[in-house]
Structure 1
Amino acid sequence: MSSRSSIWQWTALAGVSLPLALALKWAAFPAAMLLGPMLAAVAFGLRGAGVRVPGWGFQAAQAVVGCQVGTAVTASILATALEAWWAMLLVVGATVAFGALVAAALERWRLLPSNTAAWGFSPGGAAAMTALASEYGADVRLVAFTQYLRLFVVVLTASGVSRLLLGAAPSSFQPAPLLDFGFAAPDGALLAALGVIGGGCWLGRRLRVPAGAMLLPMTAAAALHVTGAAHLSLPPWLLAVAYAGLGWSIGLRFTPDSVRHALRAIPALLGATAALIGLCALSSWFLNAALGVDPLTAYLATSPGGLDSVAVIAVGSRADVPFVLAVQTLRLFAVVLAGPLVARLVCRAASPKGGGDSCP
């Protein structure tokens, strides 16, 4: 693709994304600056747009969101989360089991090969699951499409549920001005935040930590904030750029080729995704009943989406962000570590004599 064509496509994509994001923000949707670009990118991707968010751009966006989330952590909130570790473990275990159950059902009804279904419905870590699937004999194109279709549906659903629950909130809630981008000269707090973002992003790549570009800045920012060692501040314009980067990265993966490859499976994938969301919603009911966690926080904590996208929605709503991220982070590591074992169990249970696609 020529540089002129690339510049034109990025300009057009940004020109569509901004008004769509502002319309969603005017309607008080959480994470409007993520949803608008994501919806615009899906439309551009399906029309054959050749631009893609580079890997470093996606990781930088994750690092910004991670730093923002880390600044919301306080010592009292951390203590509350540690007290509820047993409930978090139960919820995470149930979510992994739900993903395996949905994958087994898809194979039993001959809607997807067992190995591909198992990797496609591992709830979380879409990029990691796609990369691992290629090493275990699954159909990588179908796994990638399944993962990002699930992520797309989950983000839309979570944002819609958050909007409904926010609608029932006290009238004291006031949405931010539509064009409040807060441009200002860099100060010490911003420079400290940029240092955390850059250092965490670099270290995550070097250590190959799953979602390290987000988790390491989030951990560092939380530690600095809780101990009072440094004050971090992120301007609205930087957050808006990061949210747009995440939305574009998700949406542009929906290309005509990927959709054609999975066309016959789309109804089954949508149904399975709805089933997984419903099963995970049962876990949110458990958190609400056992710990007294508010419904919005419980729903986002158990939502089977990506860590970064759920973080953006949680920050844009009235949820308990550290609790949501604690559960989501624990699930991410559980899914990455247990993914090969779950895929093997689902595949062997579905094809005890070695039938179907190759088992890991």
Structure 2
Amino acid sequence: MRAILPIATVVIVAIVGVGIFQLLSFPMPWMLGSLFGVLLTQLIWKIPMKWPVMMRNIGLLIVGTAIGQLFTLNILVSMKDTLLFMLMLNISLSVCCFGLAYLLKIWAKIPFATAITASIPGGLSQLVIFAEEQENINVAIVTFFHVIRVLFVVGLIPIIVSLTGEAPESVIQSSNNVLHNIGLILLGLLFLPIGKKLRLPVPHFLTPVLMGLLLSLFKVDLAPMDSHLLHIAQLCIGAYIGLLLHPKSLRLPVRVLIGGISSAILLLIITFIIAEGMVLLFDMDFATSYLSTAPGGMDQMGLIATALQADATQVTIFQLFRMLFIYIVILPVLKWKIFK
């Protein structure tokens, strides 16, 4: 009973948050309501709260399956025209992040290797693990910077997109194919060991995405994801993100706290400007362009794209390319002696 109570508390707080956000007509209430409800409760009241990683993974499987249903070989082929742009985009963002890291090193007196690892907009868990493996990187600072960035990106981007008035309404249609959807999710779970064996980044998300692509190659008809299942996914992931910012993480030096918040806001502004340019270059809607460039995780941006009815496949491809660029190019560079 004691083990279940902290989880039940999170569920109750998340649902209350969802209800409040729905009453206030805020965008994405199932994700943002649960996120901020859990976050504020954790920071204000000292009550036991726990959210197993398994619950987040269930949400990722649902979102990955929903996006996998949209993937086709034609979509991948059509993205060849943007490959050069994606490469230049990631090089430019990396240069900006290195410059930001240098400023953080001087102003907040953070070791350069720590500042760079904290500034690069990659996956939260992957970069924290990388930091733990390096002797010269402060893991606490890296964790704080990435958690703050996730909270800002996930919390603010849906609001920014809704304020532009260019995004489709955040309405997900219900379907009568719940059993069909659950079957696909379970199939993705069955293929999960293969995704882990291939060392896919965020395997709970990418495995069902790739499975959906394979099924489309065999001309298998896939029913749209039911809205109730997507709401469950948003709540599962929102509650998980809300618990990331522990009160203990706010005990860092004030300059580090200010640096983390400032860098998150600066990256949001930079990617906002880039997204506006992409709207003109590629004739895409602003929601898709901003989610494609935003410094968030591939899974989180995919979830928001699905909820806002943006082009989730394009968002996933852009975010996947950036993640691969960081792992193949940036992280090996950080191991050079110059950054020691």
What's the TM-score, normalizing by structure 2? 0.88
Would you say the 8 A contact 1:202–1:213 is kept in 2?
A: no
Would you say the 8 A contact 2:72–2:216 is kept in 1?
A: yes
Cα 1:341–1:286, aligned 2, differ >3 Å: closer, same or farther? farther
2: CA distance between counterparts of 1:163 and 1:332? Answer: 26
Q: Which residue of 2 aligns with 1:9?
A: 6
Deviation at 1:26, TM superposition (A): 5.3
2: CA distance between counterparts of 1:146 and 1:121? Answer: 7
The reply to whether residue 275 of structure 1 matches residue 273 of structure 2 is no
Q: Which residue of 1 aligns with 2:287?
A: 296
Corresponding residue SS for 1:231:
coil
* Aligned residue type for 2:338: R
Deviation at 1:191, TM superposition (A): 4.5
- Deviations along 1:143-190, one digit per CA (max 9) or x if unpaired, are 11111111101112211112113x3568xx58459xx7x7x7853x22
Q: Which residue of 2 aligns with 1:146?
A: 145
2: CA distance between counterparts of 1:325 and 1:271? Answer: 26
Aligned-CA RMSD value? 2.7
Q: Which stretch has the larger CA shift, 136-145 or 205-214?
A: 205-214
The reply to whether residue 251 of structure 1 matches residue 242 of structure 2 is yes
Q: Which residue of 1 aligns with 2:21?
A: 24
Q: Which residue of 1 aligns with 2:34?
A: 37
Q: Which stretch has the larger CA shift, 216-225 or 73-82?
A: 73-82
2: CA distance between counterparts of 1:88 and 1:13? Answer: 39
Cα 1:282–1:313, aligned 2, differ >3 Å: closer, same or farther? same
1: CA distance between counterparts of 2:119 and 2:33? Answer: 25
Cα 1:317–1:67, aligned 2, differ >3 Å: closer, same or farther? same
* Aligned residue type for 1:13: V
Cα 1:27–1:211, aligned 2, differ >3 Å: closer, same or farther? same
Corresponding residue SS for 1:84:
helix
The reply to whether residue 193 of structure 1 matches residue 184 of structure 2 is yes
Structure 1: unaligned runs, 5 residues or longer: 350-358
* Aligned residue type for 2:318: V
The reply to whether residue 160 of structure 1 matches residue 159 of structure 2 is yes
Q: How does 1:85-104 map to 2 (within 5 A)?
A: 85-104=83-102
Match among 202, 214, 217 for residue 223 of structure 1: 214
Q: Which residue of 1 aligns with 2:69?
A: 71
- Deviations along 1:121-163, one digit per CA (max 9) or x if unpaired, are 1202110000000111211122111111111011122111121
Would you say the 8 A contact 2:61–2:208 is kept in 1?
A: yes
2: CA distance between counterparts of 1:168 and 1:209? Answer: 33
2: CA distance between counterparts of 1:210 and 1:75? Answer: 21
| Count of aligned residue pairs for this structure pair | 338
1: CA distance between counterparts of 2:177 and 2:167? Answer: 35
2: CA distance between counterparts of 1:141 and 1:38? Answer: 22
Identical aligned pairs, as a percentage? 22
* Aligned residue type for 1:11: A
Q: Which residue of 2 aligns with 1:107?
A: 105
Q: Which residue of 2 aligns with 1:320?
A: 311
Higher relative contact order (CA 8 A, sep 6+): 1
* Aligned residue type for 1:246: I
Would you say the 8 A contact 1:192–1:230 is kept in 2?
A: no
Q: Which residue of 1 aligns with 2:338?
A: 348
Would you say the 8 A contact 2:275–2:293 is kept in 1?
A: yes
1: CA distance between counterparts of 2:123 and 2:186? Answer: 25
Would you say the 8 A contact 2:177–2:226 is kept in 1?
A: no
The reply to whether residue 204 of structure 1 matches residue 191 of structure 2 is no
Would you say the 8 A contact 2:97–2:119 is kept in 1?
A: yes
* Aligned residue type for 1:113: P
Structure 2: unaligned runs, 5 residues or longer: none
Cα 1:280–1:175, aligned 2, differ >3 Å: closer, same or farther? closer
